Amino acid sequence: MSGQADISVIMAAWHAADFIAPAIRSVLSQTGVSLELIVVDDASTDGTAEAALEAGGGDPRLRVERMASNGGPSVARNRAIDLASGRYLAVVDSDDSLEPGRLERLVTFADDASADIVADNMNRIDKLGAPGSSGTPFLSEAELSAPRRVSLADYLSPETERCYGENLGYLKPLFRSATIREIGLRYDTRLRNSEDFYLVAGLLAEGAQMRLHPSRGYNYLVRPGSISHRLTPELTGAILDANESFAKHYAHRFDAPARAAFNRRARDLQNMHSFERVIAALKSKSAVGVASALGARPAAVAHIISRLSAIAAGKLKRSGRGQNRTEMIQNASDQTAAQ
């Protein structure tokens, strides 16, 4: 490729041989921009790298890198960033896809707004296949009806999530490469969930400018078993650690709204971790584990009871019949992760 590409698309992939082809083809079919696609196979054993190369059909813009050992999505994405040469970095997951014209639209938007980070709304796809009528907006279109600036306080605040209906950390942004390199940030390799959130939050704390575009150009597939929608005490504990690390690095940069937003988010994360500990103990039928989780954070008891009651009531309403306690416990963790 001669000259600098407009965009380096980075795609971490693990055991993605059965579904990576549409993702790759949707990237390589983008028009109006010059691009390179860097796929990092995170030590898959199912032929992911071979499937990626086959889907690329010999396109010289595709580069496939194989990791020697599995390190998780943050490690794979960091490797892709190291290899990237484009003006912008675009994150695309190996089970998702792009709508035609998405990259050109966002590059133009970022250039016109002089933004360091831009993201758009997404189509939520609940099963395999093209979105068509099954695609629903990820964020509330009523709230995102025009381009909007996102401050650090906006990004950290749980109220923003409640306003839009989903966490902004799920979005798949474009990053200005020069900003990433000047600031020197990378994905937190301790995380296998919420890694996008903390990269964006760190950039905003460093003074980066973020804008949201109201279009829906990213097709987000919600697969059963996806790590993004399954929580465990280990995952929530890692998120708590990342949140504490974020505060140590950036609390001195918080203005009053960002500090208030961070404190509300920290309380929510602590409650979430307590909930996951209780669910894990209930699944293992450990009364001691339940007592330990509740005793570690008494302030979370009301939250835990409320979440369990809401989940149980929701399941009863959907099924139209009773559900036994074991079934409710087995599914509660997955339900709360998706909420």
Instruction: Kindly report, residue by residue over 61-81, the tens digit of the pLDDT.
Output: 999 999 999 999 999 999 999
Is the pLDDT reported for residue 31 higher than 90? Answer: yes
Q: Which pLDDT band, with edges at 50, 70 and 90, does 302 fall under?
A: confident
173, 188, 177: which is closest to 246 by C-alpha?
A: 188
Cβ-based neighbours of 235, under 8 Å, separated by 6 or more: 192, 193, 227, 276
Q: How far apart are CA 22 and CA 20, in angstroms?
A: 6
Is the pLDDT reported for residue 204 higher than 80? Answer: yes
Q: Provide the pLDDT for residue 305.
A: 86
Q: Which pLDDT band, with edges at 50, 70 and 90, does 332 fall under?
A: very low
204, 217, 271, 213: which is closest to 239 by C-alpha?
A: 271
Q: Are 13 and 76 in contact (CB under 8 A)?
A: yes
Q: Provide the pLDDT for residue 335.
A: 39
161, 143, 149: which is closest to 208 by C-alpha?
A: 149
109-123, 177-191, 291-305: least confident range:
291-305
Q: What residues does 91 pair with on adjacent strands?
A: 10
Q: Which pLDDT band, with edges at 50, 70 and 90, does 140 fall under?
A: very high
Query: Three-state secondary structure along the chain?
Result: CCCCCCEEEEEEECCCCCCHHHHHHHHHCCCCCCEEEEEEECCCCCCHHHHHHHHHCCCCCEEEEECCCCCCHHHHHHHHHHHCCCCEEEECCCCCEECCCHHHHHHHHHHHHCCCEEEEEEEEECCCCCCHHHCEECCCCCCCCCCEEECHHHHHCHHHHHHHCCCHHHCCCEEEHHHHHHHCCCCCCCCCCCHHHHHHHHHHHCCCCEEEEEEEEEEEECCCCCHHHCCCHHHHHHHHHHHHHHHHHHHHHCCHHHHHHHHHHHHHHHHHHHHHHHHHHHHCCCHHHHHHHHHHCHHHHHHHHHHHHHHHHHHHHHHCCCCCHHHHHHHHHHHHHHC
Task: Find where tokens 């980070």 sit.
Answer: 117
Q: Provide the pLDDT for residue 126.
A: 75
What count of Cα atoms within 13 Å lies in the side-chain half-sphere of residue 331?
16
Of residues 96 and 293, which shows the higher confidence score? 96
**Mean pLDDT of the 230-236 span:** 84
Q: Which pLDDT band, with edges at 50, 70 and 90, does 59 fall under?
A: very high
Is the pLDDT reported for residue 338 higher than 50? Answer: no
Q: Provide the pLDDT for residue 7.
A: 98
Q: How far apart are CA 10 and CA 172, in angstroms?
A: 11
**Mean pLDDT of the 270-284 span:** 90
Is the pLDDT reported for residue 317 higher than 80? Answer: no
Of residues 141 and 305, which shows the higher confidence score? 141
Is the pLDDT reported for residue 131 higher than 50? Answer: no
Q: How far apart are CA 333 and CA 230, in angstroms?
A: 7
Q: Which pLDDT band, with edges at 50, 70 and 90, does 230 fall under?
A: low
| pTM of the entire predicted model | 0.84
Q: Which residues of 120-159 are buried (b: 16+ CB within 10 A; e: fewer)?
A: bbbbbbeeeeebeeebebbbeeeebeebeebbbbbbbbee
Q: Are 106 and 98 in contact (CB under 8 A)?
A: no
**Mean pLDDT of the 70-95 span:** 96
Q: Provide the pLDDT for residue 337.
A: 41
| Residue 262, phi then psi, degrees to nearest 5 | -60, -45
**Mean pLDDT of the 322-334 span:** 42
Quote the mean pLDDT of the chain.
88
